Chain A
Amino acid sequence: MTEPDRAPVGVLALQGDVPEHAAAVAALVGAKRVRSVLEPADLSGLGALLLPGGESTTLSRLLDESGLRDPLIGAGRGGLPLLGTCAGIILLARELEPSPGGKDPLPLGLLSVRVRRNDYGRQAESFEAPIPFPDLPGGPFPGAFIRAPRILSVAPPARVLAELKGHPVAVREGSVWGLTFHPELSGDLRLHRLFLASAGLLP
């Protein structure tokens, strides 16, 4: 049996800002414990999995082509701690508000939120703003929102960890966490640390 606190931490490596998440995890648990997840076999024995930012339509398509969709849903329901950022929270969501044109990815349904893609606008509207984070020691978190999704509603048992201007930007349901921004671009490891600690992966 794998010792929980020494288990590898996976980063879904199909597409997106995988190296940035891998670097953040490596800084906390050591590079040897970081594992790229590209196929179902890569999920075995993981202590947690991060779903990076990227293009959610592309990622959704690649989840199907790599055969990862069902194993990932199974792992999430089985309690594997998951952290999704930006496109990652779109993949984790229970429901997506349809985009005009109606071509949306199929989410995994592991986090009880309803999300609308690119709801803050196109790249010109991407923004940085400090996020007040009540549970996080050390003050507001530097938020980078890039063509970010917006969380439209949160249903129990999911709960809001942080809001910005009245909209939830960080949500947690048991061991599944979703953020609409990019802690992996901020150089601030506090959220990665909090997530990995809550998964029992840090001393």
Chain B
Amino acid sequence: MGAVPPFSIGTDRLKRGFARMQQGGVIMDVTTPEQATLAEEAGAVAVMALERIPADIRAAGGVARMADPNRVRSIMAAVTVPVMAKCRIGHTAEARILESLGVDMVDESEVLTPADPFFHVAKRDFTVPFVCGARNLGEALRRIEEGAAMIRTKGEPGTGNVVEAVRHLRQMNQEIAALETMTPEELGVYAEKERVPVERVREVQVLKRLPVINFAAGGIATPADASLCRLLGADGIFVGSGIFKSANPRETARAIVEASMHHTDWTRLSRVSSGLGEAMKGLEISTLAPDQLLQVRE
């Protein structure tokens, strides 16, 4: 043979492919190596290394930033599953720091305080893949256009209330379904309104889904919540506060993993839902002041 094959890294196929390997799985927020180990043992497909879980970010107030690199490193050393970490929206420097630490995916996240009022991170310039939140199809396509390799619903993080994640999944499904009957002219108008190239919209019309994996996130607290989101088409689940704010994190983590995998097996779901103790307390969305809503950050 002889010739050394050309070699490439950081391609769309590798970034989106990495996300595809997570399908059906549960990605868990962790703040310590011990929590990361518990998550891995429970069957998490990846962990999200954070300074604080969203419920505590909400309680603490102030500016929420990227985690301390030492914390991220210690979590990376504790587990063999992929490790993700969050940067602030538009904070290219935090994203570069996380990339240099070797995290497997960066979440450009509204859970942290946005850093750039004008732009998101130019994610195509990176080797590390990104996941971004979206409430609707237009938002998802803008993030994909910027280079996101994976989308998740925003939900309303740190509330333990699944209603916003459900809203965002349904919104996405309705908008994708509505594309089906659109004429080329209507697609053009839609693309212009959503500020995305029309090719992106056409791709979704053909695929009848996003071209990247879409997980549910923001308020998932129980195995039944995970099942509900999967029924609505989520490719997998992020659980933030729902595990380590529950009475029994180990059992809750395992149960949510099984629920995501076997999301229509009701006998199994009733078994894994039994005797978990109290789920995280949760917040009614209407009790949040407008400036306490994290999902509106774009």
Chain A residues within CB distance 8 Å of chain B: 13-20, 38, 53-55, 57-58, 61-62, 65-66, 86-87, 99, 101, 103-104, 117-118, 122-132, 140, 144, 146-147, 164, 182, 185-186
Nearest-neighbour CB distance to chain B for A42, whole angstroms, equals 12
Q: Which of B7, B25, B127, B262 sits near A58, CB closer than 8 Å?
A: B25
Nearest-neighbour CB distance to chain B for A126, whole angstroms, equals 5
Contact B21 A144 (CB under 8 A): no
Contact A144 B80 (CB under 8 A): no
Q: How far is the CA of A185 from the CA of B19 in the complex (A)?
A: 12
Nearest-neighbour CB distance to chain B for A3, whole angstroms, equals 31
Contact A127 B14 (CB under 8 A): yes
Residues in A with CB closer than 8 Å to B8 are 127-129
Q: How far is the CA of A128 from the CA of B57 in the complex (A)?
A: 39
Nearest-neighbour CB distance to chain B for A155, whole angstroms, equals 25
Q: Which of A16, A101, A125, A147 sits near B23, CB closer than 8 Å?
A: A16
Residues in B with CB closer than 8 Å to A185 are 13, 17, 20
Of all chain A residues, which has the CB nearest B40? A57
Residues 5 to 26 of chain B near chain A (Cβ within 8 Å): 5-11, 13-14, 17-18, 20-25
Of all chain A residues, which has the CB nearest B44? A58
Contact A54 B9 (CB under 8 A): no
Residues in A with CB closer than 8 Å to B5 are 129-132, 140, 164
Chain B residues within CB distance 8 Å of chain A: 1, 5-11, 13-14, 17-18, 20-25, 37, 40-41, 43-46, 77-82, 99, 102-105, 127-129, 257-258, 261-262
Residues in B with CB closer than 8 Å to A104 are 80
A/B pair count, beta carbons within 8 Å: 131
Contact A146 B14 (CB under 8 A): yes
Most buried by A among B6, B80, B257: B80
Nearest-neighbour CB distance to chain B for A112, whole angstroms, equals 23
Residues in A with CB closer than 8 Å to B77 are 101
Residues in B with CB closer than 8 Å to A57 are 40, 43, 80-81
Nearest-neighbour CB distance to chain B for A41, whole angstroms, equals 13
Q: How far is the CA of A87 from the CA of B18 in the complex (A)?
A: 12
Nearest-neighbour CB distance to chain A for B40, whole angstroms, equals 6
Residue pairs across A and B with Cβ atoms less than 8 A apart, 23 shown, are A18-B23, A53-B20, A53-B21, A54-B23, A54-B24, A55-B45, A58-B45, A58-B257, A61-B257, A86-B21, A87-B21, A99-B80, A101-B80, A118-B80, A123-B128, A124-B104, A127-B7, A127-B8, A128-B8, A129-B7, A129-B8, A130-B6, A146-B21
Given known pairs A61-B43, A99-B80, A144-B17, the reply for A126 and B9 (CB within 8 Å) is yes
Residues in A with CB closer than 8 Å to B6 are 129-130
Nearest-neighbour CB distance to chain B for A87, whole angstroms, equals 7
Q: How far is the CA of A61 from the CA of B9 in the complex (A)?
A: 31
Nearest-neighbour CB distance to chain B for A119, whole angstroms, equals 11
Residues in B with CB closer than 8 Å to A19 are 23
Residues in A with CB closer than 8 Å to B14 are 123, 126-128, 144, 146
Residues in A with CB closer than 8 Å to B40 are 57, 103
Given known pairs A54-B23, A103-B40, the reply for A65 and B45 (CB within 8 Å) is no
Q: How far is the CA of A124 from the CA of B128 in the complex (A)?
A: 6
Contact B80 A126 (CB under 8 A): no
Nearest-neighbour CB distance to chain B for A102, whole angstroms, equals 10
Nearest-neighbour CB distance to chain B for A18, whole angstroms, equals 7
Nearest-neighbour CB distance to chain B for A199, whole angstroms, equals 25
Contact B24 A16 (CB under 8 A): yes
Extra contacts besides A123-B104, A123-B128, A131-B5 (14): CB < 8 Å? A13-B24, A57-B80, A58-B257, A101-B78, A103-B41, A122-B104, A123-B18, A127-B8, A128-B9, A128-B11, A144-B13, A144-B17, A146-B18, A185-B13
Nearest-neighbour CB distance to chain B for A132, whole angstroms, equals 5
Nearest-neighbour CB distance to chain B for A101, whole angstroms, equals 7
Most buried by B among A55, A57, A130: A55
Residues in B with CB closer than 8 Å to A131 are 5
